[in-house]
Amino acid sequence: MPILELSHVDKHYGKYHALRDINLSIEPQSIFGLLGPNGAGKTTMIRIITGITAADSGTVSFNGKPFQQRHAEEIGYMPEERGLYKKMKVWEQLVYLAQLKGLSSRNAKDRVFAWMDKMEIKDWWNKKIEELSKGMSQKVQFISTVIHEPKLIILDEPFSGLDPVNSVVIQNEIEALRKKGATILFSTHRMEQVEEICESIALINKGSIILNGNVKEIKQQFKQDLFEVECKGVLPQLNEEYVEVVSRIENKTNIRLKNGTTSKDLLKMLVQSDADVLGYNEVLPSLNEIFIKQVTEQTHE
Amino acid sequence: MNKTWLIIKREYITRVRKKLFLVTTILAPVGIALITLLPLFMANVSTETVNIGVIDKSNLFYEKLQSSNGLHFVYLNEEYEQAKTGYLSAGLNGILYISPDFNMYDGIGVEYYSKDPMGLKAKSAIEDQMSKITRNLKLAKIDLTPEMIDQLSTDVRIKSIVSNERGTQEGNTAMATAIGTIMGFVIYMVMLLYGTQVMRGVMEEKTNRIAEVMVSSVKPFQLMLGKIIGIGMVGLTQFIIWIILIALIQMGVGVMYGEQLAQLQNIPAGTGGAQAQGVPEIVQAMGNMTQLPWGYIISSFLYFFTGGYLLYAALFAAVGSATGEEADQSLTLIVTLPVVISIMIMINIMEQPNGTLAIVSSLIPFTAPIIMCARLPFHPPAWQLILSMISLAAGFLFTTWLAGKIYRVGILMYGKKVTIKELGKWLFYKD
């Protein structure tokens, strides 16, 4: 049973059609990427999932049940626009936010100090948020998102503004939380991270989902019969009736298959050509390429 | 635990813990006490006696100036010029010289010669005494005594009897006006001071971007309500502390300076005998104060205090949510205007506290808190009071609903300036 399921979700802001007939399903313990250019409707979608705003029509199910306000306690949400009470002390802030997620005061305190220890910000426990560095307040923000051990963690551009060291710290924590049973929903427009981390994605543009599924499957779906061949010296001329050389960088050559030629055929041709082949693999399009292609195609329609 | 309660608690504690709160809460009454007590302190501090040598060449004042209030008169038999050189060694602070051509009718011809300038209090005390002496001399010339003059002027006082469905009782217009005005102003201050605090709190949450984190845990309406109630409780705490402190200070003063206070009240402001009769009126007014139906006034006042605050705080919250880092002047003005108009109406209706303008404006929820409170000591008819209360309750339910609608959209809307037309549209967005 999916942890989160949206079906036929529609949302208007006045005359502006923010989301059109969104259907989406996220499996538990997966890492899901929500991609799309700015203004595509990602934030609106997240706000509907977190119960901040309601859809005009359609349903949102959490763990198989229609979404209710109490489910908010099982969701942890880190908005793109980070925010904390600047004048509050670190520990008070965290305890307060944890209590709002339904934790008892005592339980909240214990967890806050355990997390501060883990994230190495314990020395700053009694400092005001405004006295912290940006990286440290990002850590505080992250703790506040996961302190109540939510089943679903929604992170909007989690790595923006993080230095590489803190980025890795957060990334490791995310992975650890997933192993413990949490489902992670990423929202970002930075594709290389999604490729690294996410299993499934949904690509959203102008309020509609234009692509949805497993990352590997999507890449297969958009593959262009492109292969990279690495060989010693120069690759001999191949029959241009079956293949086409797309690019040549040093001793790596990108070859596209033509007219129903298969990978097996290409290998045979390479063997026959007496080339000294060092490497051979299929080139799958990056999500970035797919993304740009889809978005521009849709824009031109 | 209820989440609205958690929000109320945070709003309350973070504000009450601030140094500024402590300073204004404790220092304000102390400051007021200091200002009212300053004259008493001063009177006690300047007890040093001023010795004055009197050279009376007119022979009108001989042995008539009385030593009192830190003034000691010594009559000298020397010439003015002679005394000028020797007065200091004789232990005198100055010489009061009355020239031979002193004229009773224009009062010119008196000099005071000294090293240090004459104190204001001493100067007016001597002038008062000399005026009285000349007055009595003039009266004696036409065979009149001061007692006869006092009998001439009669102090007419009107006793106002108020008769309505609550029975017939003596009314005191001056006292009622004073109490009504004070209550109206207190409500005015509460609505503006704490209302703007709510607005600034909302703006802070919006610019800090914490609002979005908050509404992923609680409903926007809970967040707004928690803030309004939390700040309202801060205001209430402040008022209660003020009332207790002022009462304590007054008690302390009463014990320490009781006699002098009574004296101060008994000293007539001027020299004229007629003004001395003002004293019983004050005493009478004080007596009347205890006769006012305090239970009814205080409980109604608290109702309008709370209702008025809730009504305007909701509107201020909506304005705060609709604006960005800086308060939108025009939106703030729209909310502040009815409060200011109320005060202007209040000042106008004090002459006719049960007139048409008073009745109409105490039934409109936006003006009701100030106007009805100002009218409370004037025994408004019960139906007006009840209708005003109902209207206020309906009013704040309406503004809270309206504000909630604007607030939930406003706090998540960043960057752009909002027009009133857009605010109207927000009312119809679905949650």
What is the pLDDT confidence band of residue B271, given thresholds at 50, 70 and 90?
very low
Q: What tens digit of pLDDT does each residue of B320-356 get? A: 988 877 767 788 888 999 999 999 999 888 888 888 8
Q: Residue A95: list chain B partners with CB under 8 A.
A: none
pLDDT of residue A298: 72
For residue B304, give the H/E element and its range: helix B294-322
CB contact under 8 A, B216 and A79: yes
- Mutate one of A46, A77, A100 to test the B interface: name it (highest B CB count within 10 A): A100
Write the ipTM.
Answer: 0.81
- Which phi and psi (to 5°) does residue B99 adopt? -75, 160
Predicted local confidence at residue A75, as pLDDT = 93
Contacts of B3 in chain A (CB under 8 A): 100
| Residue B166 pLDDT grade (very low, low, confident, very high; cuts 50, 70, 90) | low
A155 band by pLDDT with thresholds 50, 70 and 90: very high
How much is the pLDDT for A4? 92
B chain contacts of residue A56, beta-carbon cutoff 8 Å = 430
**Closest chain B residue to A88 measured between Cα atoms?**
B14
Angle subtended at Cα B67 by Cα B62 and Cα B68, rounded to the nearest 5 degrees: 150
On the 0-12 / 13-18 / 19+ scale of CB atoms within 10 A, A247 is: exposed
Residue B260 CA to residue B242 CA, distance in Å, equals 25
> Is a pLDDT exceeding 50 seen at residue B274?
no
Does residue B168 carry a pLDDT above 70? no
pLDDT exceeds cutoff 90 at A153:
yes
Judged by CB atoms closer than 8 Å, whether chains meet at A97 and B217 is answered as: yes
Chain B interface includes A42 (CB < 8 A): no
| Contact call for residues B406 and B318 (beta carbons, < 8 A) | yes
Nearest residue in chain B measured CA to CA from A10: B430
Q: Where are the alpha helices (DSSP H) in B323-367?
A: 329-349, 356-363
Mean pLDDT (chain B) is: 81
The reported pLDDT for the residue numbered B277 is: 43
Task: Say which of A13, A51, A83 has its CB closest to residue B208.
Answer: A83
Q: Are A139 and A119 in contact (CB under 8 A)?
A: yes
Give yes or no for B147 touching A (CB within 8 A): no
* Cβ neighbours of residue B204 closer than 8 Å, sequence gap 6 or more: none
What would the two tokens of residue B346 be? 């209040």
| Contact status of A261 with chain B (Cβ, < 8 Å) | no
Which of these, A188, A233, A242, A230, lies nearest to A32 by C-alpha position? A188
Lowest mean pLDDT among A146-150, B127-131, B264-268: B264-268
Strands B160-164 and A200-205: unpaired
Task: Provide mean pLDDT across the span B20-45.
Answer: 76
Average pLDDT value for residue range A2-31: 90
**Cα A65 to Cα A2: distance, rounded to the nearest angstrom:** 10
Provide the H-helix boundaries in B46-172. Answer: 80-86, 120-141, 146-152
In sequence order, which residues have a C-beta less than 8 Å from that of residue B328 and are 6 or more positions away? B319, B322, B417, B418
Q: Does A109 touch chain B (CB under 8 A)?
A: no
Percentage of chain B beyond pLDDT 70 is 84
Is pLDDT above 70 for B167?
A: no
Cα of B33 to nearest chain A Cα, Å: 34
Distance from B3 to chain A by nearest Cα, in Å?
6
Over residues A182-204, the pLDDT tens digits come to 999 988 877 777 887 888 999 89
Question: Of A53, A95, A181, which is closest to residue B10 (Cα–Cα)?
Answer: A95
Which pLDDT score is estimated for B275?
39
Please state, in angstroms and rounded to a whole number, the distance separating the CA atoms of residues A127 and A121.
10
- Could B219 and A73 be called an inter-chain contact, meaning their C-beta atoms sit closer than 8 Å? no
Residue reference for tokens 């790596």 = A252
Q: What does the DSSP assignment read for B265-290?
A: HHS-SSS-TGGGGHHHHHHHHHHHHH
Question: Looking at the predicted structure, is the pLDDT value of residue A97 above 90?
Answer: yes
The residue of chain B nearest to residue A12, with distances taken between CA atoms, is B429
User: pLDDT band at residue A104, thresholds of 50, 70 and 90?
Assistant: very high
- Yes or no, beta carbons of A96 and B1 under 8 Å apart: no
B226 vs B122: which has the higher pLDDT: B226
pLDDT surpassing 80 at residue B231: yes
Mean pLDDT (chain A) is 87
pLDDT value for B291: 63
Question: Among B93-97, B253-257, B387-391, whose mean pLDDT is lowest?
Answer: B253-257
Choice between A250 and A98, residue whose per-residue pLDDT is larger: A98
Residue with tokens 């499996």: A27
Over residues B46-102, the pLDDT tens digits come to 567 888 889 988 888 888 888 877 788 888 888 888 888 888 888 888 899 988 888
Least confident window among A180-184, B34-38, B214-218: B34-38
Q: Which is it for the CA torsion A146, A152, A158, A164, positive or negative?
A: positive
* Least confident residue range of A137-146, B101-110, B124-133, B270-279: B270-279
pLDDT at position B195? 92
The alpha carbon of residue B27 and the mean position of all alpha carbons in its chain are separated, in whole angstroms, by 16
pLDDT at B270: 41
Whether residue A232 has pLDDT greater than 70: yes
pLDDT of residue B279: 45
Distance of alpha carbon B230 from alpha carbon A62, whole angstroms: 33
- Chain B residues with CB under 8 Å of A84 CB are 208, 210, 213
| CA proximity to B180, closest of B337, B55, B3, B350 | B350
Q: Between chains, do A100 and B215 touch, taking CB under 8 Å as contact?
A: no
Place of tokens 């399903």: A25
pLDDT of the residue at B372: 92
How confident is the model over B249-272, as a mean pLDDT? 58
Judge whether B341 and B148 are in contact, CB under 8 Å. Answer: no
Q: Chain A window 123-142: which residues touch B at a Cβ cutoff of 8 Å?
A: none
Least reliable range by pLDDT among B200-204, B301-305, B419-423: B419-423
Measured between CA atoms, the residue of chain A closest to residue B6 is A100
A292 contacts chain B (CB < 8 A): no
Residue of A nearest to B215 (CA): A52
Residue-level pLDDT at B43: 62
Q: What is the pLDDT of residues B13-26, one digit of tens each?
A: 999 998 888 888 88
Please state the φ and ψ torsions of residue A65, each to the nearest 5 degrees: -115, 150
Lowest average pLDDT, out of A201-210, B34-43, B176-185, goes to B34-43
Pick from B364, B356, B416, B407: nearest CA to B387 = B364
Is pLDDT at B431 greater than 70 in this prediction? Answer: no
What is the spatial distance between Cα B156 and Cα B173, in angstroms, rounded to a whole number? 16
Percent residues over pLDDT 90 in chain A: 34
Average the pLDDT over B128-153 and give the result.
84
Q: Per-residue confidence at B45, pLDDT binned at 50, 70, 90?
A: low
CB-nearest to B210 from A50, A52, A84 is: A84
State the nearest Cα–Cα gap between A52 and chain B, in angstroms: 6
Top mean-pLDDT range of A121-125, A276-280, B7-11, B116-120: B7-11
